[in-house]
Amino acid sequence: MNMSFATKVLEAHRPDLGPYEELYKHFHANPELSFQEAETAAKIVAHLKSLVAYDVFASIGGHGVAALLRNGEGGKVLLRADIDGLPVEERSGVAYQSRRRAGEGEGKGVMHACGHDMHITALLAAADTLVASREAWAGTVVLVFQPAEEKGAGARAMVEDGLYDKVPVPDVVIGAHVMPYRAGVIGTKRGLIASSADSFHLTLHGRQAHASMPARSIDPIVLAASTILRLQTIVSREVDPADFGVVTVSSCHAGDAENIIPDHADLKLNIRAEKPATRSRLLTSMRRIIDAETSASNAPAPTLEPLSNFPFLFNDDNVTDAIAATFAQHFEVGKCGFDTNIARLSGSEDFGILATSVGRPSCFFLYGGTDPEVYDKAEEQGSLDELPSNHSPFFVPVIQPTLGVAVDGYVGAALTFLRKG
């Protein structure tokens, strides 16, 4: 079988990934929270400038970075990686474990628990590959290192801060994410690739009183308990079992002293769907239940504050088919390579805003990061659900083959639209 165009380019020009493995360890050990990624951005800028060929633009939408490589007439491709970490205390035990903390004093732990450190490193290595292979392809490459993906705000912030005044509007927008699949696996799919996600801070107000005098109170803890339980009936009783919907109460806090009924309870909610109509139904039902339970408790009106909003992410059919064809030629099809029916991202993404804001098609591909031996053993034992996944304090992708696959994915996807002639 003849080598594909992407394979020829990668085999001739892929850099030694040893230094990039060390760079990955640096990013993993030094995560920064959303909109606080100053050191991460500075490291990215320094590396891009060391490649000489890129025009580099920093501080877009906070700590966002864009880089531009013009290489003659041809297609224009944007490749994106996200760069922020999470407020998670790492417990992986790896030698390069994060010991970063946020805030004064002890603060909270910070970790790249979603794999953005792998995304950064892979895109920097892809940038290196594309520079080295300039004689083989033609067109324009735009690299975007986006802040604050975890808040669902970084892509919009970069667009609103003039990203496309600094770099050309691309023909195609491409992103990627590491997942708890078997390392070595890569794939994408048409249509929905990530669900919507709407998050809220809910304050349920009550009336404070001594614990011995509950009749003088309006107990927000009882109100919170009944609200939480009732919210769980939305998916089980209002969403078709063939559909997808999630209602999660991820935080609940009320009171401090054991002998005081507090005056309020604070909850955080997360709502997810894969269809616009279902999303609307979930949000409407959420508000109805909150208001009804508040009324039933004779409590003051609740306060519902939006925290973040992630849009639906859809892969364009034509762009996805073209990238899938490249992947099928470059990666071995099957359990250890290209997955023709990869599961969609279980979470949500703001990546699509980089495309929809300028009316361009996009494709998001996924790749695995779980040690193959660990994955195969868990699969054999029927315990795949017990493996660490994104946002777990134990989620640290095995560096290889994960990094190599990610680099080849970025480069292969870009070269799909950058062929000469």
Asked if residue 241 has a cis previous peptide bond (ω within 30° of 0), the answer is no
Between CA 154 and CA 315 the distance in angstroms is 20
CA angle 316, 318, 321 (to 5 degrees): 100
Q: Alpha carbon 139 to chain centroid distance?
A: 28
Show the tokens assigned to 285.
């039902």
| Distances from the Cα of 61 to the Cα of 214, 222, 266, 348, angstroms | 50, 42, 30, 20
Question: What gap in Å lies between CA 229 and CA 217, rounded to an integer?
Answer: 21
Q: Is 21 helix (H, G, I), strand (E, B) or coil?
A: helix
Collapse the DSSP code of 255 into the 3-class scheme (helix H, G, I; strand E, B; otherwise coil) and give the result.
Answer: coil
Determine if residue 116 is labeled as part of a ligand binding site.
yes
- Does the annotation flag 21 for ligand binding? no
- Looking up tokens 């997360």 gives 270
* Chain Cα centroid distance, residue 377: 27
Spatial contact of 154 and 64, defined as CB atoms under 8 Å apart:
yes
| 379 labeled part of a ligand binding site | no
Whether 187 contacts 338, CB under 8 Å: yes
Dig out the tokens for 249 from the structure: 């109460």
- Rounded CA-CA distance 31/108 in Å is 12
- What SS3 state is found at 242? coil
Burial 187-205 (b: 16+ CB within 10 A, else e): bbbeebbbbbbbbbebebb
Beta 186-187 vs 260-261: how paired, if at all?
unpaired
Residue 313 three-state SS: strand
Surface-to-core class of residue 339, CB atoms within 10 Å of its CB (0-12 exposed, 13-18 middle, 19+ buried): buried
Annotation-wise, does 205 bind a ligand?
A: no
| Binding residue numbers for Mn(2+) | 114, 116, 150, 177
| Binding residue numbers | 114, 116, 150, 177
